[in-house]
Every structure is written in structure tokens, then in C-alpha cells.
Amino acid sequence: MEAGDFKKWRKTLGLSQKDAANLLGLKRRMIQYYEKGERDGEKVKIPRSVRLACYAIAQGVEDYNGPNRKLHLIEKAEKAIEPAA
């Protein structure tokens, strides 16, 4: 995943940098480094764990606690469908 791909992932999901940082368990500044592709003039590589987390989030996975536990999915789509009270 390159810097442009990372930014496209975030924007496709409609996430702010702050939201993406919260979902990934990172500081907002790291999101900025990943999107820019560098930090203090040095190239920044997006770690495999972050790339895999991006994929999981894009698939709707919010949290994973192991193979024998319930998978927590993001309920964003359900909330969009719910009628207003």
C-alpha cells in the first residue's frame, strides 16, 4: 500500500484523519505521515499490520478477539437504514 492508496482508502470510507487514527489505534500524526509517504524527509513505509487493519475495516470488521469469539462488525450501514424516530 502506497501513500496515495492509504489516503484513497480513508476517503473512500468517508473517514477523517482523526477517525482513521482512532479505528487503527494510531495518532493522527501517523495518518498524516502515511498519507504523505514521508516523515522528516525520510520515506515512511506503512506496516503490514496497518495494511491488514485497513482491509479489515473496509470489510466492516471493527474488532477481532480470536477465532472462538463473536466478530464485531461496524454498524455504519445499519444506522443509515434505520428510520428516524
Residue 27 pLDDT > 70: yes
CATH superfamily of 3-60: lambda repressor-like DNA-binding domains (1.10.260.40)
Question: What residue has cell string 487493519?
Answer: 53
Q: Please list, residue by residue across 28-66, b when 16 or more beta carbons sit within 10 angstroms of its beta carbon and e when fewer do.
A: eebbebbbeeeeeeeebebeeebbebbebbeeeeeeeee
DSSP 8-state symbol, 73: E
Q: What is the pLDDT of residue 81?
A: 45
pLDDT band for position 11 (cuts 50, 70, 90): very high
- Going by pLDDT thresholds of 50, 70 and 90, the confidence category of residue 73 is low
The full set of domain ranges for the chain reads 3-60
- How many Å apart are CA 26 and CA 82, to the nearest integer? 31
Beta bridge partners of 72: 63
